[in-house]
Amino acid sequence: MWKRGKFFVFICSFQLLFLVLFAIFGEYDLTAKPNAQINESIGGQNEVHHFYPMFQDVHVMMFIGFGFLMTFLKKYGLSSVGENMMLAAFVLQWATIIGGFLHLHDNKFYVTMETLLVSDFASAAVLISMGAMLGKASPLQYIIMAFFEIVLFQVNEWIGLTHFKVADVGGSIFVHVFGAYFGIACSRMLYKKDDMEEAEEKEGSVYHSDHFAMIGTVFLWLFWPSFNSAVAADGDDQLRAIINTYFCLAACCVTTFAVSSLIEKDKFLMEHIQNATLAGGVAIGSMADMDVKLWGAILIGMAAGTLSVLGYKYVGPFLQRRLGIHDTCGVNNLHGMPGIMAALGSVIVTAIATEENYGNSLFGIWSERDPENSNRSAREQAGYQAAALGVTLLIAIVGGCFTGLILRLPVICDPLKAHENFDDTAFWVMPGGYPGEIKTSIEELPEKKNDADHVSKI
């Protein structure tokens, strides 16, 4: 099919579209307007002081965290960190637009510090989906996936936050569950058994790529308290979100090492350490600012680490074998199942929340329990939490399947050939020192030597 220059034409069209939409609909928020009144300017100052440090932490998670985490593949490192960057930069703009459309005032959407942060959250969902698809899609396919995903992501979040008024401070439902199952559904649509078997050798890591991946893992782990608390209410809520995430992650990390050593015969497996150590951040996400107590945070971390390691060991291979679900980064184990755990946990914690325990924080966390709003009971609110999970799963899976079908269209998307899977050479002008080269040379030497006299030069 038409391939030459197609990527350029598509991306430029999208970028020009963004330009036009920002020109027509986009505006600086009052707090960022140049002719701001004194009190608006102070509002701008507060936005920066309040959001900026945590925004930058989240920003690092998106580009360094996800980008390097995915470099574990031995022959796909440039694509991982490079295309992660491209995709996230694409989404920062597109999510601002779509999110803006859902909150138009006088046909304008307004951009401020919090908008930037929220667009970063949206990019997390897409990068998680990219994790499920990693190595099995072209740059153009990632972009087209993101184009559709962001529309559905924003609609789902808008249902959940604006209509259901659900509490999900760390985005476990709207970001992690959505991104994971959208990506998995997409990946299922693209699955070709033979291709995966042929590409199996390339799917692993090498010693150095595991080091690079740890850069991503550790930055994700470190800044997760920022992810879970950045949009929490100022004061005790935000502080509690930080403390809960800190201990939940610490417990999850220790437990991951323990369980990994148990099931890998007293050794650690890098796949577990790079991923399952982070599951605690997801699993506490929806509840991070709730009163789960310190021991609750630790217990959730221990459960999440265990669940995630077992997922990598047993659930992932099962899903691939039985259901044809190939999930390159294991996002079901890191984002999917722990995200569902977070959602179910939030149902329970919401159902037992009383005004006595929470005082002022009650209406801060669940605005609709306030008699001045909907005056929901604890159980009603818990029901909405569960409903948000259900709606999210539905939209993610159906939307992911639909998007996956589009990605299969040869005329638009040029699905990869078998040998292009997990391989930078298909998409990058290659420098020397590519692992395949060295390894092949060394491995092939013995064989080649048999007829070495026929060989003049390799």
- Which residue(s) pair with 27 in the sheet? 110
Binding residue for a second copy (CB under 8 A) from 154, 156, 226, 286?
226
Using CA atoms, how far apart are residues 71 and 179, in angstroms rounded to an integer? Answer: 19
Q: Measured from the CB of residue 62, what is the shortest distance to a second copy in angstroms?
A: 9
Within residues 73-112, the interface with a second copy by CB under 8 A covers: 74, 77-78, 81-82, 85-86, 89-90, 92-93, 96, 111-112
Q: Measured from the CB of residue 116, what is the shortest distance to a second copy in angstroms?
A: 6
Using CA atoms, how far apart are residues 67 and 130, in angstroms rounded to an integer? Answer: 10
How many positions of this chain bind a second copy (CB under 8 A)?
155
Contact between residue 193 and residue 408 where contact means Cβ atoms under 8 Å apart: no
Q: Is residue 398 within the footprint of a second copy (CB under 8 A)?
A: no
Q: Measured from the CB of residue 9, what is the shortest distance to a second copy in angstroms?
A: 9
Please choose, out of 185-193, 381-389, 400-408, 448-456, the segment that lies near a second copy by the rule CB under 8 A.
448-456
Q: Measured from the CB of residue 253, what is the shortest distance to a second copy in angstroms?
A: 4
Name the residue among 230, 172, 174, 167 with its Cα closest to residue 361.
Answer: 167
Q: Measured from the CB of residue 188, what is the shortest distance to a second copy in angstroms?
A: 27
Using CA atoms, how far apart are residues 387 and 395, in angstroms rounded to an integer? Answer: 12
The sign of the dihedral angle between the CA atoms of 81, 87, 88, 90 is positive
Within residues 106-165, the interface with a second copy by CB under 8 A covers: 111-113, 116, 139
- Which residue(s) pair with 26 in the sheet? 109
Q: Is residue 314 within the footprint of a second copy (CB under 8 A)?
A: no
Q: Where are the beta strands (DSSP E) in 66-196?
A: 109-111
Which residue's CB is nearer to a second copy, number 86 or number 398? 86
Contact between residue 350 and residue 385 where contact means Cβ atoms under 8 Å apart: yes
Tell me the one-letter amino acid at 118. V
Please choose, out of 1-9, 166-174, 321-329, 334-342, the segment that lies near a second copy by the rule CB under 8 A.
1-9
Binding residue for a second copy (CB under 8 A) from 321, 356, 410, 411?
356
Which residue's CB is nearer to a second copy, number 239 or number 405? 239
Please choose, out of 152-160, 161-169, 181-189, 202-210, the segment that lies near a second copy by the rule CB under 8 A.
202-210
Question: What x-and-dash track marks residues 228-247 binding a second copy by CB under 8 A?
Answer: ------xxxxxxx-xx--xx
Which residue's CB is nearer to a second copy, number 113 or number 393? 113
Using CA atoms, how far apart are residues 262 and 266, in angstroms rounded to an integer? Answer: 6
Q: Is residue 371 within the footprint of a second copy (CB under 8 A)?
A: no
Within residues 268-287, the interface with a second copy by CB under 8 A covers: 268-270, 273, 277
Binding residue for a second copy (CB under 8 A) from 1, 2, 34, 194?
34
Q: Is residue 291 within the footprint of a second copy (CB under 8 A)?
A: yes
Beta carbons within 8 Å of 161's beta carbon, 6+ residues apart: 168, 174
Which residue's CB is nearer to a second copy, number 32 or number 315? 32
Q: Measured from the CB of residue 336, what is the shortest distance to a second copy in angstroms?
A: 23
Contact between residue 111 and residue 92 where contact means Cβ atoms under 8 Å apart: no
Contact between residue 75 and residue 98 where contact means Cβ atoms under 8 Å apart: no
Between the alpha carbon of residue 376 and those of residues 165, 355, 451, the distances in Å are 11, 12, 81
Structure tokens at 83: 């295309």
Please choose, out of 45-53, 176-184, 343-351, 376-384, the segment that lies near a second copy by the rule CB under 8 A.
45-53
Q: Measured from the CB of residue 414, what is the shortest distance to a second copy in angstroms?
A: 10
Helix, strand, or coil (residue 395): helix
Q: Is residue 455 within the footprint of a second copy (CB under 8 A)?
A: yes
159 backbone dihedrals φ, ψ, rounded to 5°: -60, -50
110 backbone dihedrals φ, ψ, rounded to 5°: -115, 135
Using CA atoms, how far apart are residues 190 and 206, in angstroms rounded to an integer? Answer: 26
105 backbone dihedrals φ, ψ, rounded to 5°: -125, 125
The sign of the dihedral angle between the CA atoms of 295, 300, 301, 306 is positive
Please choose, out of 159-167, 339-347, 395-403, 437-445, the segment that lies near a second copy by the rule CB under 8 A.
437-445
Q: Measured from the CB of residue 154, what is the shortest distance to a second copy in angstroms?
A: 17
Which residue's CB is nearer to a second copy, number 357 or number 373? 357
Binding residue for a second copy (CB under 8 A) from 161, 189, 218, 397?
218
Using CA atoms, how far apart are residues 267 and 227, in angstroms rounded to an integer? Answer: 31
Q: Is residue 448 within the footprint of a second copy (CB under 8 A)?
A: yes
Binding residue for a second copy (CB under 8 A) from 257, 401, 402, 408?
257
Which residue's CB is nearer to a second copy, number 264 or number 397? 264
Q: Is residue 378 within the footprint of a second copy (CB under 8 A)?
A: no
Using CA atoms, how far apart are residues 25 and 337, in angstroms rounded to an integer? Answer: 38
Q: Is residue 209 within the footprint of a second copy (CB under 8 A)?
A: yes
Using CA atoms, how far apart are residues 241 and 293, in angstroms rounded to an integer? Answer: 11
Helix, strand, or coil (residue 359): coil
Contact between residue 80 and residue 205 where contact means Cβ atoms under 8 Å apart: no
